[in-house]
Amino acid sequence: MGERRYQRWLAYGQSKLANLLFAFELQRRADAAGFELTSTAAHPGFAATNLQTAGPLLEGSKIRELFARATNVAFAQSDTMGALPTLYAATEDLPGGTYIGPDGFAEQRGHPKIVGANGRARDEESARRLWEVSEDLTDVTYVFNGR
């Protein structure tokens, strides 16, 4: 939880992993309870947003800001295209536990398609632990159909 030291890209990556773990665990728990729920996850690929320039701007690093802007222009897709995987995941009739991302090289840009998640995202023990820690931190317990 970054209590001793905060590294923005490490925290970003951990938050994305947590999103996947939570989405897949939600589907497992709903399935186990016989609850009709579909949990899907999505990622935008490399979308040109202010995420890449926010850190350099806060730090006052003009060189890193210019590099981030140039990288967005050269490699990123539009923010509109980056939104498509989420819209697809939310509106298509997909099986629970599906992960959607862009169809281009390294899933960085393109149109939505079903993509794979790495082994860490499918680790059921980590997902269970994240769920329990989330319940503990929020003081909210999720119950499906009274179970």
Q: Which domains does the chain have, with CATH numbers?
A: 8-138 (3.40.50.720)
Question: What is the Cβ-side half-sphere exposure of residue 58, based on CA atoms within 13 angstroms?
Answer: 7
What's the whole-number mean pLDDT along residues 122-132?
A: 97
Q: Provide the whole-model pTM.
A: 0.88
Least trusted range by pLDDT, from 38-47, 66-75, 84-93: 66-75
What's the whole-number mean pLDDT along residues 86-102?
A: 98
> Any residues with CB less than 8 A from the CB of 47 and at least 6 apart, and which?
76, 77, 78, 79, 81, 82, 83
> Any residues with CB less than 8 A from the CB of 142 and at least 6 apart, and which?
29, 135
pLDDT band at 51 (very low <50, low <70, confident <90, very high): confident
pLDDT for residue 103 is more than 90 = yes
Catalytic residues: 12
Name which of 47, 24, 38 is nearest 123 in CA terms.
24
Least trusted range by pLDDT, from 17-26, 56-65, 110-119, 123-132: 56-65
